[in-house]
């Protein structure tokens, strides 16, 4: 804090300060223009949720209608179905897929074959860098009737080929599996880093006391990474309304459309596929943005309570300290 006071000049008027920093303001111009046009104008455009959109009058000139769009929206059963479906898919997906990278990190750390462990780790992170478009192409190929998985199952004695991606009951489980396949290797990196940050002395002391391998995992490794695990979990809960659109959108098809309509796909459908009412669509957008904001702020607060640095990471923390 003392440093700040030195940095912040006590003498000199505001104007003098502004003149002194004139080049800083010049540098800010391009970024600020971008933020005004592509971040804050759309945000202002959310006012359309309370208007009846008229193409000729544009966003700002269209007449106000109050909460009319929302009363239509909240009366639409498809909207509520999509909200519950989103929550159900994302919460169950979080619960099921979340432990995988933690276990993966533990396994990769525990195995005594170092080079094998390194190679695996590299391999596991690869799919993360591919888009869901590419991954869906890979999955559709592997999981088709004549794909590798079904052929392999046939060798094992399964008679009927399984329709993995074209069946309603298997759609959500397939989301879990493909999510694990694509992203868990990447998520494991954070835990691997946390494990490598554990003080070696703790293990050495345990060795002297004659601790077994299991005891070391349970008593040293797990308790040490638990705060990281907890913070990661809370931060993931902040996105349960918006996560997974890319995945669902690319893996769905005509057969699974009914069970795949999450909120973002509902927005896409009412906006770009049926007769367009932009006021109505914006009302859904606003609902989504507001609920998401509430969830994110709650997750951020909780994560901070439990010792994490929150959503803005180092940056946010530093800002608060230095300004």
Partner 1 sequence: MKRGKSDNWSMGSRKKLTAIDYVLFAILLLFAITIIVPFWNVLTVSFSTQKEATETPLMLFPSDPTLENYRYLFNDGKFVVGFKNTIVLLLVGVPLALFLTTTMGYALSKRYFPGRKLILYLVTFTMIFNGGIVPTYLVLRQLGLIGSLWAVVFTNCFSVFNLILMINYFQTIPPALIESATLDGAGEGRTIVSIIIPLSKPILATITLFYGVGFWNQWYDSMIFIRQANKLPLQNVLRSLIQNTEIVTTATSSLAALGQSQYSDGIKMAAVILTMIPVVCFFPLLQKHFTKGIMVGSIK
Question: To the nearest whole angstrom, how small is the minimum distance from the Cβ of residue 243 to partner 1?
Answer: 14
Sole binder of partner 1 in the list 81, 120, 206, 259 (CB under 8 A): 120
Within 67-96, the residues that bind partner 1 by CB under 8 A are none
Virtual torsion, Cα 97, 102, 106, 108, nearest 10 deg: 60
Sole binder of partner 1 in the list 89, 232, 241, 248 (CB under 8 A): 232
Determine, following the binding rule CB under 8 A, whether residue 110 of this chain makes contact with partner 1.
yes
Stretch that binds partner 1, among 32-40, 67-75, 80-88, 198-206 (CB under 8 A): 32-40
Sole binder of partner 1 in the list 87, 162, 174, 189 (CB under 8 A): 189
Question: To the nearest whole angstrom, how small is the minimum distance from the Cβ of residue 235 to partner 1?
Answer: 8
Within 5-24, the residues that bind partner 1 by CB under 8 A are 7-9, 14, 17-18, 21, 23-24
Question: To the nearest whole angstrom, how small is the minimum distance from the Cβ of residue 87 to partner 1?
Answer: 18
Stretch that binds partner 1, among 64-72, 73-81, 143-151, 168-176 (CB under 8 A): 143-151
Question: To the nearest whole angstrom, how small is the minimum distance from the Cβ of residue 79 to partner 1?
Answer: 14
Q: Is 307 left (phi over 0), alpha (psi -120 to 50) or beta?
A: left
Burial 196-233 (b: 16+ CB within 10 A, else e): eeeeeeeeeebeeeebeeeebeeebbeeebeebbebbb
- DSSP, res 130: S
Q: Angle CA(132)–CA(170)–CA(154) in degrees, nearest 5?
A: 100
Closest CA to 90 of 254, 191, 233, 240: 240
Give the number of C-alpha atoms closer than 13 A to the C-alpha of residue 163, restricted to the C-beta side: 8
Question: To the nearest whole angstrom, how small is the minimum distance from the Cβ of residue 221 to partner 1?
Answer: 14
Asked whether the beta carbons of 143 and 161 are under 8 A apart, the reply is no
Determine, following the binding rule CB under 8 A, whether residue 144 of this chain makes contact with partner 1.
yes
Determine, following the binding rule CB under 8 A, whether residue 198 of this chain makes contact with partner 1.
no
Sole binder of partner 1 in the list 126, 199, 223, 305 (CB under 8 A): 126
Query: Bridge partners of 51?
Result: 64
# residues contacting partner 1 (CB under 8 A): 121
Determine, following the binding rule CB under 8 A, whether residue 285 of this chain makes contact with partner 1.
yes
Sole binder of partner 1 in the list 2, 10, 56, 115 (CB under 8 A): 115
Determine, following the binding rule CB under 8 A, whether residue 173 of this chain makes contact with partner 1.
no
- DSSP, res 313: H
Closest CA to 192 of 110, 256, 112, 273: 110
Q: Is 266 left (phi over 0), alpha (psi -120 to 50) or beta?
A: alpha
Stretch that binds partner 1, among 63-71, 78-86, 88-96, 274-282 (CB under 8 A): 274-282
Distance CA 79, CA 90 (A): 17
Determine, following the binding rule CB under 8 A, whether residue 297 of this chain makes contact with partner 1.
yes
């Amino acid at each position: 804090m003392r440093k700040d006071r030195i940095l912040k000049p006590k003498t000199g008027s505001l104007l003098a300060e502004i003149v002194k920093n004139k080049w800083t303001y010049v540098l800010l111009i391009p970024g600020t223009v971008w933020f005004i046009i592509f971040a804050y104008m759309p945000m202002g455009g959310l006012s359309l949720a309370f208007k009846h959109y008229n193409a000729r009058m544009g966003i700002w000139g269209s007449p106000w209608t109050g909460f009319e769009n929302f009363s239509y929206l909240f009366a639409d059963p498809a909207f509520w179905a999509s909200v519950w479906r989103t929550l159900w898919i994302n919460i169950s997906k979080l619960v099921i897929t979340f432990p995988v990278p933690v276990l993966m990190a533990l396994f990769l750390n525990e195995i005594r074959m170092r080079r094998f462990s390194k190679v695996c780790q590299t391999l596991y992170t690869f799919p993360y860098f591919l888009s869901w478009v590419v991954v869906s192409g890979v999955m559709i190929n592997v999981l088709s009737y004549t794909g590798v998985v079904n052929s392999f199952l046939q060798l094992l004695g399964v008679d009927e080929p399984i329709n993995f991606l074209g069946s309603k009951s298997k759609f959500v489980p397939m989301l879990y599996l493909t999510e694990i396949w694509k992203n868990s290797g990447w998520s494991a990196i954070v835990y691997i880093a946390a494990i490598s940050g554990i003080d070696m002395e703790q293990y050495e002391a345990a060795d002297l006391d004659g601790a077994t391998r299991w005891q070391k995992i349970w008593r040293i490794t797990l308790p040490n990474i638990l705060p990281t695990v907890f913070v990661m979990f809370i931060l993931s809960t902040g996105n349960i309304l918006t996560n997974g659109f890319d995945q669902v959108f690319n893996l769905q098809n005509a057969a699974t459309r009914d069970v795949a309509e999450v909120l973002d796909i509902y927005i896409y459908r009412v906006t770009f596929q049926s007769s367009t009412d932009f006021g109505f669509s914006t009302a859904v957008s606003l609902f989504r943005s507001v609920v998401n904001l509430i969830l994110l702020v709650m997750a951020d607060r909780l994560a901070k309570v439990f010792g994490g640095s929150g959503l803005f990471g180092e940056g946010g923390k530093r800002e608060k300290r230095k300004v």
